[in-house]
Amino acid sequence: MGFQEIVFFVMGILAVALGGCLATRRNPVSAAMLLISLMVVLAGMYGMLDAHFAAVAQIIVYAGAIMVVFIFVMMLLNLPPEELRFGTLTVGEIILTIAGIGVAVALGTKVGQGYLVSALQLSEARAPLLPETENLRNVAATMFTDYLWSFELISFLILAAVIGAVVISKRRHGHAESA
Amino acid sequence: MSASPSPYLPILFAVVAGLLVVGGATAASFLLGPKKPNDAKLDVYECGVPVVGTARQRLSVKFYLTAILFILFDIETVFLYLWASAFDFLGWFGVVEVGLFASTLLLGYVYILKRGALTWD
Amino acid sequence: MLNPMLFDLIAMVLKVAVALLIALQVAPIMVWVERRQAAMIQRRVGPNRVGLFGFRMFGLGQPLADTIKLIFKEDFVPKQANKVFYVMAPMITGLAGLVAIVGLPLGSYVEVFGTRVNLQPVELNAGFLYLFAVSALGVYGAALAGWSSNNKYALLGGLRASAQMVSYEIAMGMSLLPIVIIFGTLNMQDIIAAQSGHLLFGFLPAWGVFYAPVSMCIFVVCMFAETNRLPFDLAEGEAELVAGFLTEYGSMRWSLFFLGEYAMMTTLSGLAVCLFFGGYEIPWLPQTRILELLTGAGLGRELALWVMFPLGLGVLLGKIAVFMFLFVQARFTLPRFRYDQLMDLGWKIMFPFALANLVVSAVWAAIAKFGLP
Amino acid sequence: MLSLPEMGLYFSFLLFLIGLFTVMFRKNILVMMLGVEILLNAANLAFVSASRITGTMDGQVVMFMVMAVAACEAAIGLAMIISLYRAKASVEADDLKLLRG
CB nearest B78 (choices: A61, A76, A141): A61
**Burial (CB count <10 Å: 0-12, 13-18, 19+), residue A101:** middle
C126:A68 CB<8 A: no
Q: Given this model, what pLDDT does residue A83 score?
A: 62
Phi, psi dihedral angles at C52 (to 5 degrees): -105, 130
Does some domain include residue B4?
no
Is the Cβ–Cβ distance between C39 and C46 less than 8 Å? yes
Which residues does chain B have within 8 Å of residue C95's beta carbon, measured at their own beta carbons? 15, 18-19, 22
Domains identified in chain B, total number: 1
Long-range contacts from C324-328, C-beta under 8 angstroms, 24+ separation: C324/C30, C324/C33, C324/C265, C324/C266, C324/C269, C325/C33, C325/C37, C326/C220, C327/C224, C327/C229, C327/C265, C327/C269, C328/C30, C328/C33, C328/C34, C328/C37, C328/C38
CB nearest D75 (choices: B68, B78, B82): B68
Nearest Cα of chain C lies from the Cα of A136 at a distance, in angstroms, of: 7
**Burial (CB count <10 Å: 0-12, 13-18, 19+), residue C2:** exposed
Q: How many whole angstroms separate alpha carbon B80 and alpha carbon B94?
A: 11
Q: What residue of B is the nearest CA neighbor of C257?
A: B22
- How large is the average pLDDT for residues C320-340? 84
pLDDT at B54 over 60: no
Q: How many whole angstroms separate alpha carbon C279 and alpha carbon A72?
A: 37
Read off the pLDDT of residues C208-248 as tens digits, 9 standing for 90 and up: 888 889 999 999 999 888 887 766 666 556 555 566 677 66
Is the Cβ–Cβ distance between A113 and D28 less than 8 Å? no
Q: Given this model, what pLDDT does residue A123 score?
A: 58
Nearest Cα of chain A lies from the Cα of D43 at a distance, in angstroms, of: 12
Does some domain include residue B64?
yes
Is the Cβ–Cβ distance between A23 and D18 less than 8 Å? yes
Nearest Cα of chain C lies from the Cα of A72 at a distance, in angstroms, of: 8
D67:A62 CB<8 A: yes
CB nearest A135 (choices: C125, C132, C147): C125
Nearest Cα of chain A lies from the Cα of C136 at a distance, in angstroms, of: 5
Which residues does chain B have within 8 Å of residue A78's beta carbon, measured at their own beta carbons? 54, 56-58
Which residues does chain A have within 8 Å of residue B78's beta carbon, measured at their own beta carbons? 57, 60-61
Q: Does B44 touch chain C (CB under 8 A)?
A: yes
Which residues does chain C have within 8 Å of residue B34's beta carbon, measured at their own beta carbons? 72, 74
Q: Which domain holds residue D47?
A: 4-99
In this structure, what CATH number is given to the domain that contains residue B46? 1.20.58.1610
Check residue A176 and report its DSSP letter.
-
Q: How many whole angstroms separate alpha carbon C351 and alpha carbon C169?
A: 10
Q: Which residues of B touch D (CB under 8 A)?
A: 61, 64-65, 68-69, 71-72, 74-75, 78-79, 82
- Winning range, highest mean pLDDT, from A110-124, C50-64, C128-142: C128-142
Helices (H), chain C: 4-41, 61-72, 83-101, 129-148, 152-175, 177-183, 188-196, 208-211, 213-226, 251-276, 287-296, 301-333, 339-344, 351-370
- How large is the average pLDDT for residues D4-22? 85
Nearest-CA neighbor of A64 among C169, B58, C157, C14?
Answer: C169
User: For the domain bounded by A1-81, which CATH number is listed?
Assistant: 1.20.120.1200
Which residues does chain B have within 8 Å of residue C152's beta carbon, measured at their own beta carbons? 46, 53, 55, 57
Check residue C283 and report its DSSP letter.
T
* Whole-angstrom Cα Rg for chain D: 17
* Whole-angstrom Cα Rg for chain A: 21
Q: How many whole angstroms separate alpha carbon C284 and alpha carbon C293?
A: 14
Domains identified in chain D, total number: 1
Q: Given this model, what pLDDT does residue A174 score?
A: 42
Q: Given this model, what pLDDT does residue A56 score?
A: 92
CB nearest A5 (choices: D4, D64, D70): D4
Does some domain include residue B108?
yes
Beta bridge partner(s), residue C111: C116
Q: Does B104 touch chain A (CB under 8 A)?
A: yes
Kindly report the number of other CB atoms within 10 A of residue C198's CB atom: 9
Nearest Cα of chain C lies from the Cα of A113 at a distance, in angstroms, of: 30
pLDDT at A173 over 60: no
Q: How many whole angstroms separate alpha carbon A45 and alpha carbon D8?
A: 8
In this structure, what CATH number is given to the domain that contains residue D11? 1.10.287.3510
CB nearest C91 (choices: B22, B66, B77): B22
What are the domain boundaries of chain C? Answer: 4-370
Read off the pLDDT of residues D43-63 as tens digits, 9 standing for 90 and up: 999 999 988 888 888 888 899
User: Which of A34, A49, A62, A134 best tests the C interface by mutation, with the highest count of C CBs <10 A?
Assistant: A134
**Burial (CB count <10 Å: 0-12, 13-18, 19+), residue C74:** middle
In order of A122, C11, C40, C126, C188, the CA distances from C131 in angstroms are 39, 22, 33, 10, 11
Is the Cβ–Cβ distance between A61 and B75 less than 8 Å? yes
Q: Given this model, what pLDDT does residue B47 score?
A: 63
Q: Given this model, what pLDDT does residue B102 score?
A: 93
Which residues does chain A have within 8 Å of residue C174's beta carbon, measured at their own beta carbons? none
Which residues does chain D have within 8 Å of residue B79's beta carbon, measured at their own beta carbons? 64, 68
pLDDT at C201 over 80: no
pLDDT at D100 over 70: no
pLDDT-derived band of residue A157, with 50, 70 and 90 as boundaries? very high
Q: How many whole angstroms separate alpha carbon D6 and alpha carbon D3?
A: 6
Q: What residue of C is the nearest CA neighbor of A78?
A: C147
SS3 C111: strand
* Beta-strand relationship, C109-112 and C204-205: unpaired
Give me the helix-helix angle, D29-54 and D58-88, nearest 10°: 180
Chains A, B: CB pairs < 8 Å = 138
What are the domain boundaries of chain A? Answer: 1-81
Question: Which range (A17-26, A125-134, C12-21, C339-348) has the least confidence?
Answer: A125-134
A60:C132 CB<8 A: yes
Which residues does chain C have within 8 Å of residue A56's beta carbon, measured at their own beta carbons? 124, 126, 129-130, 132-133
ipTM for the whole complex: 0.89
Of the CA atoms within 13 Å of residue C300, those in its CB half-sphere come to 8
Q: Given this model, what pLDDT does residue A63 score?
A: 92
- How large is the average pLDDT for residues C183-207? 82
Phi, psi dihedral angles at C165 (to 5 degrees): -60, -40
Helices (H), chain B: 9-32, 39-42, 62-85, 87-115
Q: How many whole angstroms separate alpha carbon A31 and alpha carbon A24?
A: 8
* Whole-angstrom Cα Rg for chain C: 22
Q: How many whole angstroms separate alpha carbon A128 and alpha carbon A135?
A: 9
* Interior angle at CA C166, CA C164 and CA C172, nearest 5: 100
Residues in chain D: 101
Burial per residue of A65-74, b for 16 or more beta-carbon CB atoms within 10 angstroms, e otherwise: bbbbbbbbbb
Tell me the whole-structure pTM to 2 decimals. 0.89
Q: How many whole angstroms separate alpha carbon C30 and alpha carbon C355?
A: 34
Chains B, D: CB pairs < 8 Å = 25
CB nearest B78 (choices: A60, A77, A145): A60
Quick one: CA dihedral C175, C179, C182, C186, positive or negative? negative
Is the Cβ–Cβ distance between A169 and B61 less than 8 Å? yes
* Interior angle at CA A22, CA A16 and CA A25, nearest 5: 150
Chains that touch B (3 or more CB pairs under 8 A): A, C, D
Quote the distance between the C-alpha of residue C24 and its chain's center.
13
Q: How many whole angstroms separate alpha carbon A42 and alpha carbon D45?
A: 8
CB nearest A68 (choices: C126, C133, C166): C166
Chains that touch D (3 or more CB pairs under 8 A): A, B
Residues in chain B: 121
Question: Which range (C348-362, D26-40, D87-101) has the least confidence?
Answer: D87-101
C126:A136 CB<8 A: yes
3-state secondary structure A57-89: HHHHHHHHHHHHHHHHHHHHCCCCCCCCCCCCC
Which residues does chain A have within 8 Å of residue C139's beta carbon, measured at their own beta carbons? 64, 68
Q: Across all residues in chain C, what is the average pLDDT?
A: 82
Q: How many whole angstroms separate alpha carbon A34 and alpha carbon C178?
A: 36
D7:A32 CB<8 A: no
Is the Cβ–Cβ distance between A142 and A129 less than 8 Å? yes
CB nearest C125 (choices: A29, A36, A53): A53
- Contact residues, D window 71-90, toward B, CB-based 8 Å cutoff: 71-72, 74-75, 78-79, 82
Q: How many whole angstroms separate alpha carbon C264 and alpha carbon C269?
A: 8
User: Which of B6, B54, B59, B71 best tests the A interface by mutation, with the highest count of A CBs <10 A?
Assistant: B71
B101:A170 CB<8 A: no
For a pLDDT cut of 90, what percent of chain B falls above it?
Answer: 32
Which residues does chain C have within 8 Å of residue A30's beta carbon, measured at their own beta carbons? 84
Check residue A170 and report its DSSP letter.
S
Question: Are 3 or more Cβ–Cβ pairs between C and D shorter than 8 Å?
Answer: no
Read off the pLDDT of residues B16-41 as tens digits, 9 standing for 90 and up: 999 998 888 888 877 777 776 666 66
Q: How many whole angstroms separate alpha carbon C359 and alpha carbon C362?
A: 5
| Amino acid at position D24, single letter | M
Q: Which domain holds residue B100?
A: 9-115
